[in-house]
Structure 1
Amino acid sequence: MDAFISLQKSIERLARIKCSNYKQDYIKRRILSRMRLTNTEDFEAYHKYLLGNPQELDLLRKALTINVTKFFRDPEVFEVIRREILPDLARRKRSIRIWCAGCATGEEPYSIAIIARELMVLHKDVSIAVYATDIDAVVLQKAMAGIYDRKALENMDEKRLRKHFISHDDGTFEVRPHIKELVKFRQHDLMSGIPVARYLDAITCRNVTIYFTEKQKNDLTHLFYSALAVDGYYVMGKTEYLAREVEHLFTPYNATQKILRKAT
């Protein structure tokens, strides 16, 4: 068996990460990076190293699922959500459900929950739930703990920081319970073909599909379309796009911020 294929099989079995869900070049780049750091000369040697060093599995998992993020990343996107999308949904619905897909360590769903809480103060008859999912159980544990360093909060103004976070003596900040209670974390594989829920009002999936093949991107677009309610919103990453085969499923709402709406 080819050494790279054999290595991928072990990664899928041990790390529970389906390598075929990612572009092969991406998988190879991440593995080669770990090979350089572990001084292993080829895939076979790295495979042996991985099997003999349990700590390497966690390091490789982090390398494969890396998602650099922070609170209110791309602030302009969150301003559109705050000023337009959530108020629109609140005018039409008493219960709003949002799916944050590929949530990594939780900064994005908590950012949405913060502006959701601010809207709920003004609309006391409206409830908002944020479903936050990721394939990586390890990062979900960090997300559920809700503890972050100052760098992750650099886009946060001081008023929000004091109101929604507990400051710890070690310099970290913890999301307060009134924000945590709005977010429901769950492990989920986007390539399973099954949405986390149906009739959702908005889905955010940003900077996740850049690692997927074109077919997987199209499959995911169909999945999101089926999961959204009529006139539901889909928020993409700034560098992401819909392929020609699926672009008819959504209409542009804010092209600059890559926010779409489900086509009818």
Structure 2
Amino acid sequence: MIPPDYEYLRKVLKDLSGLDLSADKQYLIESRLLPLARKAGLANIGELVQKMRGGSPSLINQVVEAMTTNETFFFRDKVPFDHFRETIMPEILRARAGRKSIRIWCAAGSTGQEPYSIAMCLKEMGAALAGWRVDILATDLSQEVLEKSKSGIYSQFEVQRGLPIQLLVKYFKQMGELWQINPDVRAMVQHRQLNLLHDFSHLGAFDVIFCRNVLIYFDQQTKINIFGRLAKAIEPDGFLVLGAAETVVGLSEAFKPFSDRRGLYRPSGAQNSPGRVWATGTAAPKLAAIAGM
């Protein structure tokens, strides 16, 4: 039998963030919320829930943020960034040559490592993007992690996880024991608080959407709903990038997977470019591959 306090927390998290905790995840509640409870001067999870039930919007928001803040690091999983350089950007450069602009959305931007990894990939393209307008939007449910992302300040441990040393030297400035990403890279990324459960049509249309390692926490119906709305937020010839454990297969007909590009999808109506049969195994041309990645 599920304890009432745990059942209450499950419902709050599901309603406010979409996080769908199974009955066996009570250890996760303890590990993430007990420090929060003690910080608030409460002895245990039971007292935390009692205060939440009594009506404490700020505490409820802190609980949701604590439970939905996920691990991230620079160039996480490597493969999506290979796809970005080798498949996505060559096609974008061709398809958007007339307007010379690109919009990219990181739908679970967290503390900034993903959007800044994308920004550094674009910086490495150099003259290929001369004269182009590039907009990267990073959104997240948590305002706290967005503030960290805006600052662009990371510990030695954080910059050592996934970030090639040549990019650290090139795009970061050391501040004592911390590192801050350069202002020109920070300026490429805009930040906005956003709950994926809510309407995001006001954001407009994007050429590329990174929505990685967030849908795995949602139930099937929520995933279906979000895929339907992502399909309306992406250009007809755009690209959707999901996490390694995520897929549209069996959930949505709005996107089709690349058969040889794990985690990469296109709107169902999109066509491959003439002479490029990327979905069946022919590799796209490479752009400014970053050594060591």
The match for 1:106 is 112
After superposition, the Cα gap between the structure-2 partners of 1:133 and 1:71, relative to the gap in structure 1 and judged at 3 Å, is same
- Corresponding residue SS for 1:96: strand
After superposition, the Cα gap between the structure-2 partners of 1:241 and 1:54, relative to the gap in structure 1 and judged at 3 Å, is closer
Which of 168, 176, 180 lines up with 1:161 in the alignment? Answer: 168
Counterparts of 1:42-121 in structure 2 under 5 Å?
A: 44-48=46-50, 60-93=63-96, 94-121=100-127
Deviation at 1:172, TM superposition (A): 1.3
Which has the larger share of helix?
1
What is the TM-score normalised by the length of structure 2? 0.76
Question: What CA distance in whole angstroms lies between the structure 2 residues aligned with 1:100 and 1:221?
Answer: 15
Question: What CA distance in whole angstroms lies between the structure 1 residues aligned with 2:247 and 2:256?
Answer: 12
> 143-152 or 179-188: which moved more?
143-152
Counterparts of 1:149-188 in structure 2 under 5 Å?
A: 149-154=155-160, 155-169=162-176, 171-188=177-194
Question: What CA distance in whole angstroms lies between the structure 2 residues aligned with 1:196 and 1:132?
Answer: 15
Q: Which amino acid aligns with 2:20?
A: K
Deviation at 1:61, TM superposition (A): 4.3
The match for 2:31 is 33
Q: Which amino acid aligns with 1:151?
A: F
Deviation at 1:54, TM superposition (A): 11
After superposition, the Cα gap between the structure-2 partners of 1:6 and 1:199, relative to the gap in structure 1 and judged at 3 Å, is closer
The match for 2:20 is 23
**1:260 correspondence with 2:265:** yes
**1:193 correspondence with 2:191:** no
Question: What CA distance in whole angstroms lies between the structure 2 residues aligned with 1:205 and 1:136?
Answer: 15
Verify the 8 A CA contact 1:4 1:43 in the aligned structure 2.
no
After superposition, the Cα gap between the structure-2 partners of 1:48 and 1:206, relative to the gap in structure 1 and judged at 3 Å, is same
Question: What CA distance in whole angstroms lies between the structure 2 residues aligned with 1:150 and 1:116?
Answer: 24
Deviation at 1:83, TM superposition (A): 2.2
- Corresponding residue SS for 2:197: helix
After superposition, the Cα gap between the structure-2 partners of 1:126 and 1:167, relative to the gap in structure 1 and judged at 3 Å, is same
Q: Deviations over 1:114-158 (max 9, x none)?
A: 111222533312221101000111111111011011222232222
Q: Which has the higher contact order (CA 8 A, sep 6+)?
A: 2
**1:224 correspondence with 2:227:** no
Question: What CA distance in whole angstroms lies between the structure 2 residues aligned with 1:34 and 1:73?
Answer: 23
Question: What CA distance in whole angstroms lies between the structure 2 residues aligned with 1:62 and 1:20?
Answer: 9
Deviation at 1:250, TM superposition (A): 1.1
| Percent identity (aligned) | 28
Q: Which amino acid aligns with 2:164?
A: D
> 225-234 or 18-27: which moved more?
18-27
Question: What CA distance in whole angstroms lies between the structure 2 residues aligned with 1:184 and 1:72?
Answer: 19
Q: Any unmatched runs of 5+ in structure 2?
A: 270-293
After superposition, the Cα gap between the structure-2 partners of 1:191 and 1:58, relative to the gap in structure 1 and judged at 3 Å, is closer
Verify the 8 A CA contact 2:19 2:68 in the aligned structure 1.
no
What is the TM-score normalised by the length of structure 1? 0.84
Q: Deviations over 1:223-264 (max 9, x none)?
A: 111000111100000011225241x21112255531101111
Q: Any unmatched runs of 5+ in structure 1?
A: none
Give the number of aligned pairs.
256
Verify the 8 A CA contact 2:16 2:64 in the aligned structure 1.
no
> 79-88 or 201-210: which moved more?
79-88
Q: Which amino acid aligns with 1:205?
A: C
After superposition, the Cα gap between the structure-2 partners of 1:8 and 1:164, relative to the gap in structure 1 and judged at 3 Å, is same
After superposition, the Cα gap between the structure-2 partners of 1:237 and 1:245, relative to the gap in structure 1 and judged at 3 Å, is closer
Verify the 8 A CA contact 1:128 1:182 in the aligned structure 2.
yes
Question: What CA distance in whole angstroms lies between the structure 1 residues aligned with 2:125 and 2:49?
Answer: 51
The match for 2:290 is none
Question: What CA distance in whole angstroms lies between the structure 2 residues aligned with 1:220 and 1:255?
Answer: 24
The match for 1:236 is 242
Verify the 8 A CA contact 1:254 1:260 in the aligned structure 2.
no
Root-mean-square deviation over aligned CA pairs: 3.2
